[in-house]
A and B are shown apart, each in its own frame.
Chain A
C-alpha cells in the first residue's frame, strides 16, 4: 500500500490552553485533549462526507495510564469508584472521544505495540487503506507526573515523546510512495 502525506500536526499537552476549551471537554483526559487538537487540525478542510470515507488509527504505548491509576488507586484505598475514570481507562477511549468530537464514522481502531507501535501503525494503515481513500494516523502518550521517573527508567527513549500528540493525514492507494512514512512517524 502506497500513501501520500496530505498534512500533519503536532502539539505538546502543555501547549493547550485549557481555559479556551468548551465544556464538552470537561471529562476528557490529557491524551484526549491533545490528540483531539491535532486530529481536528489536520481535518480542517474535510467535509462530513469526506469523514465517512476516512479510516482512523490511534497508536498509544501506554493508553490512559492516568485514569487507570486513579481508578485502581481508589479501589486499593476502598474509596468510591468513578465510572468516568473507568470509561476513560480504556486504551480505546481517546479514539472514541475523537470520533464523537470530529464525527468520524469510518473504520477505526486503536493499536498498542510497545516500542513497535509506529511500525505497527504503518502495517495497520496498509489494511485500513484498502477500505477507504484517506487514513488518519495519530500517536499519543502522556505519562502522569508521579510515574515519569519509573517509566523513563523503564523506557529510555520515552522522554522525547512524552506528552506529544501527532497526527498524519494520508491519502491511500496513491501509486507511488512519496514520503518515508516510518521516518516521519519516528
Chain B
C-alpha cells in the first residue's frame, strides 16, 4: 500500500524537549554527546537523573506530579515543550497525545505488588498500586492536566515504543485525523528493568561500547522526551525538522534476540525509505539503535549493509553517553538528530577505535561537519519489533 497515496500534508516538528543524561535540556545532552562525556556511572553501568535535578523539578510541578519520578519527569518535559510552541487551550482541545513507556509509574508499584502474595497485608496499599500499574494512568494524568483532548494512545512496544509513537502521530497528521499532536516518552530505572537485564546477562557495568570488538552489553538510562508536531499548513511556527518517512516490521524470530541477519530491521528501513520516496544514497547519516549488545549490533549492522549496499554512510550510536533508555530511546535520539540539523554536525560514537571486524560500517570517533538533510533513525525491540523513521531538515515534496 502506498502511504503517500492519501498524504495530504507533511509532519512538521515545532518543538522538542528532553531531560536525560543528568541534564535538563537537549542542548546540554547534545554537547555531552558531541564531547563524548558519558553520564553512565562506571560502577553500576547506569545513567541516573540526580536527586538534585528531581528536587528542582518538584518546585515547579503540581502536587499530582510530585508523587512519582516518572510523572514528574513527564510533566516537566511536556511543560517545557508546550511552552516553546505557544499553543493555546483551543489548539490543545483537539490535539492528539501519544505517550510511550514500558514501565510507566513503576516506582509507585514495584514494591507494593508483591505484598499481594502475603496474607493480611495492607489491601489499600495494594489497590493503590494496582491503579498505578496500568500504564495508561500516566497518559490519562497528562491528558487531564494539560487538557489535550484529541485522540490518544500509549505505545508499549518495548524499545521501539517511542519511535512507533512518533510514526503513529505522523500518520494521524497525514490523514487529517489531527492537526497537532504531542508525542512523548518517559522511562525511569527500576528493579524490574535493571535486575531483568542483569539476569538476561545483557547489562554492562562498564560504559557500553557499541559496535566495538570488545563490547560486553548495554547501559540503562533514564529519559523523558516530548515533541510537538503540526501539519505543515497549520501555523507559521518554524520547523526544527520534518518526519519524511516511517517504516515498521516484525522479526517473528525470537522473544528477546533480533533476527541474526537483521531481516526485520532491514524491512523497516526499506519501508521508511519508500514512504519518504527517497533513495538510499539520499541518507546522510544513520543514528543507529546501537545498544552495545553482541546480538543487536551484529543484526543492525547486517540490516544497514542490506539496505545501503556498497555505501559508506556514517553511522553513530550515542547510547554510551546517555544509556539505553528503552521505550524512550527513539525519541531521545530523534531529538539529538534535530540538534544535529541545527549544528550541521554528526555526533561521534564513543569507543569507535576498535570496531568488530564483522561490522563493516562507517563508525567514527570525532564530530563531523557535513551538510545534513536526511537522517535515518532505527529502533529494534524485544518481541522483534522494528521501527525506522527518516527525519529531514527541509520539507520533502508531497
Contacts and interface: CB of A to CB of B under 8 A. Distances in A.
A127 B6 CA distance: 12
Interface in A73-122: 73, 75-77, 81-83, 86-93, 95-97, 99-100, 102-117, 119-120
A132 B1 contact: yes
Contacts of A127: 167-168, 171-172, 175, 177
Contacts of B140: 113-114, 116
A20 to B, nearest CB: 23
Interface stretch (B11-19, B62-70, B235-243, B381-389): B381-389
Nearest to B175: A130
B130 interface: yes
B338 interface: no
A93 B267 CA distance: 21
Interface residues of A, number: 67
- Interface residues on chain B, size class: 35 or more
Given A96-B385, A111-B154, A151 B130 contact: yes
Contacts of A105: 249-252, 264, 267
B353 interface: no
A120 B199 CA distance: 34
B116 A146 contact: yes
B126 A112 contact: no
Given A103-B252, A108-B157, A92 B385 contact: yes
A150 B116 contact: yes
Contacts of A97: 255, 383
A93 to B, nearest CB: 6
A5 B381 CA distance: 30
Given A68-B113, A126-B177, A100 B384 contact: yes
Contact of B156 (A63, A68, A130, A153): A63
A71 interface: yes
Contact of B158 (A75, A88, A90, A120): A90
Nearest to A126: B177
A107 B137 contact: no
Interface stretch (B22-30, B190-198, B218-226, B341-349): B190-198
Given A76-B111, A109-B248, A133-B1, A96 B123 contact: no
Nearest to B136: A114
A137 interface: no
A56 B248 CA distance: 11
A164 to B, nearest CB: 17
Interface in B343-398: 381-385
A93 B254 CA distance: 10
A43 interface: no
A111 B384 contact: no
Which of A76, A96, A106 gathers the greatest number of chain B CB atoms within 10 Å? A96
B245 to A, nearest CB: 12
Contacts of B74: none
B155 interface: yes
B191 A72 contact: yes
A99 B135 CA distance: 22
Contacts of B310: none
A38 interface: no
B196 A89 contact: yes
A177 interface: no
B80 interface: no
A120 B153 contact: yes
A92 B158 contact: yes
Interface in B321-346: none
A150 B116 CA distance: 9
Given A71-B192, A86-B196, A107-B249, A113 B153 contact: yes
B156 A112 contact: yes
Given A71-B192, A150-B127, A153-B127, A130 B255 contact: no
Q: 3 nearest interchain CB pairs?
A: A96-B383, A114-B136, A107-B248
Given A81-B195, A114-B134, A146-B117, 9 more contacts: A72-B191, A75-B191, A87-B255, A91-B102, A106-B250, A113-B135, A127-B171, A130-B1, A154-B127
27 contacts: A68-B113, A68-B133, A69-B116, A71-B192, A72-B114, A73-B114, A75-B114, A77-B114, A81-B195, A87-B256, A90-B156, A90-B383, A91-B102, A92-B157, A108-B248, A113-B135, A113-B153, A113-B154, A126-B177, A127-B167, A127-B171, A127-B172, A130-B1, A130-B174, A147-B130, A150-B130, A153-B123
Interface of B: 1, 3, 6, 102, 110-111, 113-114, 116-117, 123, 126-127, 130-131, 133-137, 139-140, 151-158, 161, 164, 167-168, 171-172, 174-175, 177, 191-192, 195-200, 248-256, 264, 267, 271, 381-385
